[in-house]
Amino acid sequence: MQPDQDVIKRWTGSAPFWEKHRNIIRLMFAPVTQALVEDAQISSQDSVLDVAMGPGEPALSLAALFGPGGKIVGVDPIPEMVAAARREADRLRLKNVQFDVAFADHLPLAADTFDAVVSRFGVMFFPSPVDGVREMLRVLKPGSKLALAVWHFAERNPFHHALSRVVDRYVDSPPPAADAADAFRFAPPGKLREVLIQAGAMAPSERLLRFTIQAPISVEEFWTLRREMSDKLAEKMATLSKEQAAKVKTEMLEALGEYSTDGGMSFPAEVLIVSGGKRR
Ligand SMILES: C[S@@+](CC[C@H](N)C(=O)[O-])C[C@H]1O[C@@H](n2cnc3c(N)ncnc32)[C@H](O)[C@@H]1O
């Protein structure tokens, strides 16, 4: 299937910011990484594939966690993301990782290779999620598991909603089509599980992960991080006049104040973890 050029352009533009904020992003979503490790049944000697890893997560966390025993391969279609992952692996002197440029529906990897496949916040952007999951199943060893993390509804996630609620009062934001490449494409329970069934996964299951997104930064720093991470938010802000943008920022900082604690920002969060296996 043809990659969505708009998706490619958006992720290329945000790659430098995902690299800039990598440490906070790793901390914020560590509970999601942990859930993927549990549901894909990963252990320290495994060879693991991370699809749509952006600048290297959860691949880098897994490599650091498991040490030299396991082998981690990460792929992303955006060369700038892959270069960022390689820079961090070099900085950390990790020897057990390999990063390649690849789309999910065309993995340049041999069949029956991996003990586990994971993808955190990636599958919603694939032009064909079924083809992407089929490829993950192809490269898995028989009897092994894949686990995918996707956002539950925006309204259950103030990490997103506290911001969109403010900006959407100023910018016309029609809801995306049901199958548009969007962060909340797989929010409806059962929708991604159905994709796994269509792709031929064994015993597909889904669980709701409730956790706390913790970021040891100020409200103002959080606003910068979110504006830079989210091309959509940056795009909406760019349509505003200077006066409107200043008003939005003031209202935004006020709305985010609700989630500010002594230790930094803290948001209740909900993610779906969907997993399945490859036939023996
Ligand atoms: C929200 S980021 C997630 C990054 C990382 N996994 C994390 O959790 O921090 C989504 C990633 O999906 C990648 N992506 C978009 N379309 C893709 C496709 N067709 N195949 C594989 N990855 C894709 C983007 O390049 C981007 O790096």
In tens, the pLDDT along 236-274 reads: 999 999 999 999 999 999 999 999 999 999 999 999 999
Closest CA to 50 of 80, 85, 17, 79: 85
Residue 115 has a pLDDT of 98
Average pLDDT over residues 119-137: 97
Backbone phi, psi, residue 215, to 5°: -135, 115
In tens, the pLDDT along 190-211 reads: 999 999 999 999 999 999 999 9
Q: What's the gap in Å between 151 CA and the centre of ligand 1? A: 13
Q: Which ranges of 97-210 does DSSP label H, i.e. alpha helix?
A: 129-139, 158-167, 191-199
From 23, 88, 100, 121, mutation site for ligand 1 pocket: most ligand atoms within 8 A of C-beta: 121
Report whether residue 125 contacts ligand 1, using a CB cutoff of 6 Å.
yes
From 20, 37, 53, mutation site for ligand 1 pocket: most ligand atoms within 8 A of C-beta: 53
Report whether residue 103 contacts ligand 1, using a CB cutoff of 6 Å.
yes
- Nearest-CA residue for ligand 1 atom 6 is 53
Band of pLDDT at residue 172, cut at 50, 70 and 90: confident
Residue 78 has a pLDDT of 97
In tens, the pLDDT along 48-93 reads: 999 999 999 999 999 998 888 899 999 999 999 999 999 999 999 9
Report whether residue 182 contacts ligand 1, using a CB cutoff of 6 Å.
no
pTM to 2 decimal places: 0.96
Instruction: Please count the residues of the chain.
Output: 280
Domain ranges of the chain: 5-154+181-212+271-277
Residue 112 has a pLDDT of 98
In tens, the pLDDT along 138-154 reads: 999 999 999 999 999 99
CB neighbour list of residue 173: distance below 8 Å, 6 or more residues apart: 164, 167, 236
Q: In angstroms, rounded to a whole number, what is the distance separating the alpha carbons of residues 26 and 4?
A: 27
- The C-alpha torsion from 233 through 53 and 42 to 34, rounded to 10°, is -30
Specify which residues 266 forms β-bridges with: 214
Average pLDDT over residues 82-107: 97
% helix / strand / coil in the chain, to the nearest 5?
45, 25, 30
Residue 218 has a pLDDT of 97
- Nearest-CA residue for ligand 1 atom 8 is 120
Q: Which ranges of the chain does DSSP label H, i.e. alpha helix?
A: 5-20, 22-28, 30-39, 59-66, 79-91, 129-139, 158-167, 191-199, 219-229, 231-238, 242-257
The answer to whether 166 and 255 are in contact (CB under 8 A) is yes
CATH of region 5-154+181-212+271-277, choose from 3.20.20.70, 3.30.360.10, 3.30.1780.10, 3.40.50.150? 3.40.50.150
In tens, the pLDDT along 28-37 reads: 999 999 999 9
**CA angle (226 as vertex; 221, 228 as ends), nearest 5:** 95
